[in-house]
Structure 1
Amino acid sequence: MNNPSKRIASIDVMRGLVMLLMTVDHVRETFFMQHQVSDPMDPAATDPGLFFTRLAAHFCAPMFVFLTGLSAWLYAHPPSGARHATGFLVKRGLLLVALEITAVNFAWTGTLVPSIVYLQVIWAIGLSMLVLALLHRLPLPALALVGGTIVAGHNALASVAFEPGSAASLAWTVLEQRGFLMTDPVRIKASYPVLAWIGVILLGHACGPLYARSAAPAWRRRWLVLAGTAGLALLVALRSVNLYGEPVPWTAQADALHTAMAFLNFTKYPPSLDFILLTLGCGLLALAWIERSDTLATRVLAVFGGAPLFYYLLHLYALLALQKLTAAVLGVPRADVGQVWQVWAIAVLLPVLLYWPARRFGRYKRESGKAWVRYF
């Protein structure tokens, strides 16, 4: 893939893969509620099929946040020449925060006034974009240093605490300790601590020059493979001795499968260093491989990745409608499935149904020239 459009396509393909893995996890949360899992998952109490289904979804947020930072660099460096990205980042960040509080919460609860307003991944991405808007003009090596320091060092802050109810405690809840920001008159819970995600978006932005027009594809792939391999090697070194980077140590289990589950049992809230090393390490290797692949599958994935926010909202409302319809047909308060394979079956069917709307919107986004569609 030697021209700019092909390079952008590889990013869309990766986003599309993330969208489909995310769909699996959201189907699980919609139709498999009777088998909820905690974070981190307990390998002694979780069925392997459910464990690895959840593990697959772990790759979504890190890669999407990383690609958000990378895409912000691409936005600031189009073929026509450099432009300021501050306004775009601020407006998109505020839009995401607003959507989380309104449209996303309604999609999950089906009510305009939910008992709890959850601030989840869209909120975290929005806040990360606002921070990037403040910092993106720093030299890229400085951004990489700050991002890497946050990702590598935030686990050392796990014991930090402030007086409950204080401004510092509320700020720390947003940054590193998930919990309630408000209980009256509305209960608001920050479910995605954002500090580590800020580090990831800064790292993504610092990697933007890998996709510059002047970057040779072979050189870019070498760096992606090198960075991905180094991340996974560091993960193995740290995790093998339970040295640092993951608050939940692993121990040998009754068999090899459950031992592997214990080894891969990484904390997501907030994302531990080991969690990020696994997901970004594999993600960078996948980016390098995807760039050399042009198949029907990658072209389909690029459709979902070309309008990610549109697909995100569309699939949430489709799941809400499907849950309500199925429950009404069965005459039950809530429809659930009993097997993990049924979760995957629904997650395969849903994108098939949503492919054409996503494709039409993606085409409209590319051809309309309207400013607002860039945000979706």
Structure 2
Amino acid sequence: MTAGVTAPRFTAFDRLRGLIMALMAIDHASYAIARIHAFEAWSTAVPEPVTITRAISHLCAPGFFMLMGAGMVWLGKARQKSEGWSHARIRRFFITRGLVLLVVQHFIENPAWILMTVSADPSSPMLQAVEPGGGSDYFLHFAVISALGAAMIFWAFLIELPSLVILAITAAAAALSVWMTPPASEIATLWPYWKTLLFVPSHHNAINVLYPWVPWLVPAGLGIVLGRIIYKRPEKTVTVALGLGLVLIATHFAFAHSGVPGLSAFLKYPPTPSFLAVTLGVDLLLISVFAFAPSAMLGPLDVFGRSPLFFYLLHLYVLAAISFAFPSGSSLPVMYAVWAAAMVLIYPACVRFARFKASKPVESMWRLF
């Protein structure tokens, strides 16, 4: 992907991406098959118990954003060296990709979620949960793909800034997100559209936001700095990933015991500093492990990790199709069996798509998938 950077580095990052894709699919199978889905949101007065199935999926979204930030650095460097791209051309490329992700969210991803939802028994407890906000029925749903697109567009304008400035902007985004998160008692408030889209996961008439844009700038910004460090010293990948991972996990425990509400809370919607610290920390530890793991054992993760958006969209529609057989849910063993079968079905399609994508020019939109 980038000239001058060793292959094991990319293997480790591809494997992490592949792993979190597979773990994310477990969480989505829980929604589509078992009809169980947690919602660790600011509006929950009493935190929900975290199951193992849900806990392992927490690694996914922060990892996606961190890997995207690092990938922006590596892709930019690669295009400069191999194609002679200017900073302006790289910026336009990332802005275009970000806009494509926003379109994918609303026109390709969301219909799959609609299918998974309408296939459920209306009396399912999963569908009875009280969501923050309210108003008329919404038709624009902003989830992880739209937040990835927004983060890519935002950082495309700033990616050439010094790392210390990137870190300062990242810290400011984290602090602003904590400050803008309301107390659970405000669950019925209809926030202004801008606040809903940027900061507060909630429903406001036409829009429903699960992944507000500003909080998720944080892991992407950290990924940019990480990508720069590893680009300069690829031989230090394991040391950097292990060291930063341990620091972030220690930071999580410091936040968790700080007694400061905005820091100690463990929430995904929006992601709190405590949540991001431990999930990114574990993701980094996994990178350090994957750098040495035998390739033969982890081949499927490499395949999934090299076609992430294709995998993401395909697995949603596979689960959506199967979901009609489980309107009232299933046991966890059945859900895991369905998930495993879906992974087996998706694997050869990802192998073929990876070959197809590699045959396309560097500016092809197929490369995005």
1:177-226 superposed Cα distances (whole Å, 9 cap, x missing partner): 12234x2xxx32111112111121111112212332x5242x23222211
Structure 2 residue corresponding to 1:240, chosen from 250, 257, 267: 257
Q: Would the aligned equivalents of 2:360 and 2:367 in 1 still touch at CA under 8 Å?
A: no
Structure 2 residue corresponding to 1:8, chosen from 10, 19, 24: 10
Worse overlay, 86-95 or 273-282: 86-95
Partner of 1:127: 150
Inter-partner Cα distance in structure 2 for 1:31 and 1:115: 24
1:235-254 superposed Cα distances (whole Å, 9 cap, x missing partner): 11221343354464xxxxxx
Q: Would the aligned equivalents of 2:40 and 2:48 in 1 still touch at CA under 8 Å?
A: no
Q: How does 1:105-124 map to 2 (within 5 A)?
A: 105-110=110-115, 116-124=139-147
Partner of 1:209: 228
Q: 1:172 to 1:56 in 2, by over 3 A?
A: same
Q: Would the aligned equivalents of 1:31 and 1:343 in 2 still touch at CA under 8 Å?
A: yes
| Secondary structure, aligned partner of 1:207 | helix
Q: Would the aligned equivalents of 1:221 and 1:288 in 2 still touch at CA under 8 Å?
A: yes
Q: How does 1:1-376 map to 2 (within 5 A)?
A: 4-33=6-35, 35-40=36-41, 46=49, 51-78=51-78, 79-80=81-82, 83=85, 84=87, 85-110=90-115, 116-151=139-174, 154-159=177-182, 169-181=192-204, 183=205, 187-212=206-231, 214-217=232-235, 219-246=236-263, 248=265, 266-324=266-324, 326=325, 334=327, 336-337=329-330, 339-369=331-361, 371-376=364-369
Q: 1:45 to 1:235 in 2, by over 3 A?
A: closer
| Secondary structure, aligned partner of 2:215 | helix
1:12-68 superposed Cα distances (whole Å, 9 cap, x missing partner): 1110001000000000111122x443325898875x6xx121111111000001100
Inter-partner Cα distance in structure 1 for 2:323 and 2:261: 42
| Secondary structure, aligned partner of 1:135 | coil
Inter-partner Cα distance in structure 2 for 1:215 and 1:87: 28
Compute the displacement of 1:89 (Å). 1.2
Inter-partner Cα distance in structure 2 for 1:157 and 1:54: 26
Give the TM-score, by structure 1 length. Answer: 0.81
1:218-275 superposed Cα distances (whole Å, 9 cap, x missing partner): x232222111111111111221343354464xxxxxxxxxxxxxxxxx2011000000
Inter-partner Cα distance in structure 2 for 1:92 and 1:226: 32
| Secondary structure, aligned partner of 1:80 | helix
Inter-partner Cα distance in structure 2 for 1:335 and 1:165: 32
Inter-partner Cα distance in structure 2 for 1:138 and 1:3: 22
| Secondary structure, aligned partner of 2:157 | helix
Structure 1 residue identity aligned to 2:22: L
Inter-partner Cα distance in structure 2 for 1:147 and 1:45: 28
Inter-partner Cα distance in structure 1 for 2:262 and 2:283: 19
Inter-partner Cα distance in structure 1 for 2:9 and 2:171: 25
Q: 1:44 to 1:130 in 2, by over 3 A?
A: closer
Paired residues in the alignment total 335
Give the TM-score, by structure 2 length. Answer: 0.83
Inter-partner Cα distance in structure 2 for 1:274 and 1:287: 20
Q: 1:284 to 1:44 in 2, by over 3 A?
A: closer
Structure 1 unaligned blocks of 5 or more: 249-265, 328-333
Q: 1:28 to 1:42 in 2, by over 3 A?
A: farther
| Secondary structure, aligned partner of 1:242 | coil
Compute the displacement of 1:90 (Å). 0.8
Inter-partner Cα distance in structure 2 for 1:25 and 1:347: 9
Compute the displacement of 1:291 (Å). 1.1
Q: Would the aligned equivalents of 2:140 and 2:207 in 1 still touch at CA under 8 Å?
A: yes
Inter-partner Cα distance in structure 2 for 1:44 and 1:95: 35
Q: CA RMSD in A?
A: 2.7
Q: Would the aligned equivalents of 1:246 and 1:267 in 2 still touch at CA under 8 Å?
A: no
Q: 1:39 to 1:104 in 2, by over 3 A?
A: same
Compute the displacement of 1:150 (Å). 2.3
Inter-partner Cα distance in structure 1 for 2:84 and 2:26: 38
Structure 1 residue identity aligned to 2:52: F
1:280-319 superposed Cα distances (whole Å, 9 cap, x missing partner): 0111111111112233232210100101000001101111
Inter-partner Cα distance in structure 2 for 1:3 and 1:158: 40
